[in-house]
Amino acid sequence: MNPKFRNLFIIGGSVALLLLIIQIIITYPDVSAKGILLNALPALFLYFLAYKTYHEHKDGELM
């Protein structure tokens, strides 16, 4: 993966996580686990992509 996209993935994951927190606050009494899971998956996926762009092998080869 191209390391130039790392900051974009981190920003996107942070925005998705912020939107998830806002949704939980707005719908507090009736929070559904399915809604939380469906909104958390994009944030987790973007953070995973950011990790994959950062992680390197010891020989310098990107995973």
The one-letter amino acid code at 44 reads: L
How far is it, in rounded angstroms, from Cα 47 to Cα 50? 5
- pTM for the whole thing? 0.75
pLDDT the model gives residue 43: 94
The pLDDT tens digits along the chain (63 residues) read 677 888 899 999 999 999 999 998 998 888 888 888 998 999 999 999 998 887 665 555 555
- Token pair in block for residue 39: 């909104």
In a 10 Å sphere around its CB, with 0-12 CB exposed, 13-18 middle and 19+ buried, how is residue 50 labelled?
Answer: buried
How far is it, in rounded angstroms, from Cα 12 to Cα 34? 21
